């Protein structure tokens, strides 16, 4: 049987599995499995050479029953409406897993940032944000950084919104520079939240994290910081990779040196004291912990049987397919699903939004302590759900999250 790797199809399959366990009625299922609002926009931009290029962008709000939509905006050549719809759905469940008062949204622009100048990126960003502005706002939909967007992107978006409404609105986006109302600890939040769930998984599996061999696919913000944080608590990072390839050293490598090497050369490939390895090979290395921190659908029915890790922590969104989930479960692999493992980012985005609205800001140690409390509570609740329903952790996380959104939807009722 051939797998359908369309991310929206996968997200709906995951939803249906959880909905079956919750015994949701057909009407409620139809409400929760569909995006509430999908906006497609054209983005005309004058390029540096004087020509006008029209980009296509999206903003999808999957569900806002529990609060404003929340979710990142990504810039990538392969962005599609179905991908953004899937990511918006996963965000709706992610915010519910960690029990923060947001719904789920996501956005994207089809573009290749590597071929664009800074001024072209700024003009595209400002025009895109202006085009989606009718559905954006600190009490409506709060975007954040994602793939190939960053704090500077958010600063441009915040300024565009503020210039349009006529006053500075710090809470309209999160992931901003600290000088514009960003939160201390936000840059590390996704990776730090992932670390907290890995620590809890090791406790459940009665496996020491100190000395555990870790392979990390993807060496962007989440992957590189996860490598550093895991190294700090005594884990042994044996392999890392980026879009150009990976490197491995069974005796362990220094993630700080890997980060500096990538900053100088543009890739981890060539890091002294390591051997080159393909991304596909990294996934199948013998290790205790595997952290997919890149794109969707990297572990499928084709390679799941070859995975040797005892714990998989999804720092990326959707790296493991539904068929792979079942294979990994039969192999006894303990999987930390994306809507739990990488929820640290949206949790600290929530903290940032709260600080912006209050104009009262916290120190980094306060942010990290609050994040640890949220992530470890969420892990316990998902694990308890897993034991109660006798399902693997992904389905358990979906059951917990969808149950919370369903309860909010039922209590609110249908309008009119």
Domain count, the chain: 2
In a domain, 325, yes or no: yes
Q: What is the pLDDT of residue 414?
A: 92
State the residue range of the domain holding 268.
189-341
pLDDT in the model for residue 8: 95
> Which one of 293, 326, 341 terminates a domain?
341
pLDDT of residue 111: 98
Answer yes or no: is 177 within a domain.
no
Q: Is the N-terminal amide bond of 298 cis, ω within 30° of 0?
A: no
Q: The CATH number of the domain where 320 resides is what?
A: 3.40.50.720
Which of 169, 199, 227 is the C-terminal boundary of a domain?
169
Q: Are 356 and 348 within 8 A, CB to CB?
A: no
Domain boundary residue among 298, 321, 341? 341
Q: What is the tens place of the pLDDT at every residue in 324-371? A: 999 999 999 999 999 999 999 999 999 999 999 999 999 999 999 999
Same domain, 127 and 214: no
Annotated catalytic residue: which of 36, 85, 94, 106?
Answer: 106
Strands (DSSP E) along 320-362, which ranges?
A: 334-336
Residue 1 has pLDDT above 70, yes or no: no
Are 125 and 155 in contact, with CB atoms under 8 Å apart? no
Do residues 157 and 268 share a domain? no
**Average pLDDT of the chain?**
97
In a domain, 51, yes or no: yes
**pLDDT tens, residue by residue, 73-98:** 999 999 999 999 999 999 999 999 99
162 within some domain: yes
Mean pLDDT of the 50-63 span:
98
Give the whole-angstrom CA distance, residue 192 versus residue 365: 12
Pairing mode of beta strands 104-110, 52-63:
antiparallel
Same domain, 198 and 312: yes
Q: Is 106 a catalytic residue?
A: yes
Per the domain annotation, does 412 fall within a domain?
A: no
Strands 141-145, 69-76: pairing is parallel
Please tell me whether residues 316 and 281 are part of one structural domain.
yes
For residue 142 the two structure tokens come to: 């709060």
Q: Do 195 and 133 have their domain in common?
A: no
* Nearest in space to 90 (alpha carbons), one of 345, 329, 307: 345
Q: Per DSSP, what are the bridge partners of residue 171?
A: none
Above 80 in pLDDT, residue 154?
Answer: yes
Do 314 and 208 fall into the same domain? yes
CATH number at residue 118: 3.40.50.10860
| pLDDT (0 to 100) of residue 13 | 95
Calculate what percentage of the chain has a pLDDT beyond 70.
Answer: 100
Tell whether 217 and 77 lie within a shared domain: no
Is residue 399 scored above 90 in pLDDT?
yes
- Over range 187-196, report the average pLDDT: 97
Q: Does the residue 389 lie in any domain? A: no
Shared domain check, 194 and 155: no
Residues 210 and 89 placed together within one structural domain of the fold: no
- Three-class secondary structure of residue 387 per DSSP: helix
For residues 158 and 202, membership in a common domain is answered with no
Asked if residue 172 has pLDDT above 70, the reply is: yes
Q: Indicate whether 355 belongs to any domain.
A: no
Strand 275-277 and strand 245-248: pairing? antiparallel
> Does residue 130 fall inside a structural domain?
yes
Same domain, 280 and 159: no
Give the tens place of pLDDT for each residue, 237-254.
999 999 999 999 999 999
**Are residues 150 and 200 both part of a single domain?**
no
Per-residue pLDDT tens for 279-325? 999 999 999 999 999 988 999 999 999 999 999 999 999 999 999 99
Q: How many CB atoms lie within 10 A of CB 209?
A: 19
């Amino acid at each position: 049987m051939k797998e359908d790797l369309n991310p929206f199809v996968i997200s709906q399959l995951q939803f249906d599995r959880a909905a079956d366990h919750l015994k949701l009625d057909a009407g409620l299922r139809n409400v929760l499995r569909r995006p509430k609002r999908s906006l497609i926009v054209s983005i005309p931009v004058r390029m540096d050479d004087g020509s006008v290029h029209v980009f296509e962008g999206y903003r999808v709000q999957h569900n806002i029953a529990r609060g404003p939509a929340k979710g990142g905006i990504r810039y990538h050549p392969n962005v599609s409406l179905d991908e953004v719809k899937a990511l918006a759905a996963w965000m709706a469940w992610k915010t519910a897993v960690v029990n923060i008062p947001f719904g789920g949204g996501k956005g994207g622009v089809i573009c290749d940032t590597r071929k664009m100048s800074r001024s072209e990126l700024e003009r595209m960003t400002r025009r895109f944000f202006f085009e989606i502005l009718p559905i954006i706002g600190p009490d409506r939909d709060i975007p954040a950084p994602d793939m190939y967007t960053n704090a500077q992107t958010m600063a441009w978006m915040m300024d565009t919104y503020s210039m349009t409404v006529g006053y500075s609105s710090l809470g309209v986006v999160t992931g901003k520079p600290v000088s514009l109302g960003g939160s201390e600890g936000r840059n590390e939040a996704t990776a730090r939240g992932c670390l907290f769930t890995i620590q809890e998984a090791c406790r459940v599996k009665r496996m020491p994290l100190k000395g555990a061999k870790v392979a990390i696919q993807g060496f962007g913000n989440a992957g590189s910081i996860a490598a550093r944080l895991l190294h700090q608590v005594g884990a042994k990072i044996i392999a890392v990779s980026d879009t150009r390839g990976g490197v491995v050293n069974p005796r362990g490598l220094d993630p700080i040196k890997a980060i500096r090497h990538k900053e100088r050369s543009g890739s981890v490939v060539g890091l002294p004291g390591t051997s080159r390895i393909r991304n596909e090979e990294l996934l199948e290395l013998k290790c205790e912990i595997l952290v997919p921190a890149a794109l969707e659908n990297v572990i499928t029915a084709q390679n799941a049987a070859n995975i040797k890790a005892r714990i998989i922590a999804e720092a990326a969104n959707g790296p493991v397919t539904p068929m792979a989930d079942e294979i990994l479960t039969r192999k006894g692999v303990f999987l930390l699903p994306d809507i739990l493992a990488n929820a640290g980012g949206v949790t600290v985005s929530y903290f940032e939004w709260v600080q912006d609205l209050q104009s009262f800001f916290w120190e980094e140690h306060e942010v990290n302590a609050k994040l640890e409390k949220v992530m470890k509570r969420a892990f316990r609740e998902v694990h308890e759900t897993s034991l109660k329903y006798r399902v693997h952790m992904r389905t358990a996380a979906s059951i917990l999250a969808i149950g919370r959104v369903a309860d909010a939807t039922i209590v609110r009722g249908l309008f009119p």
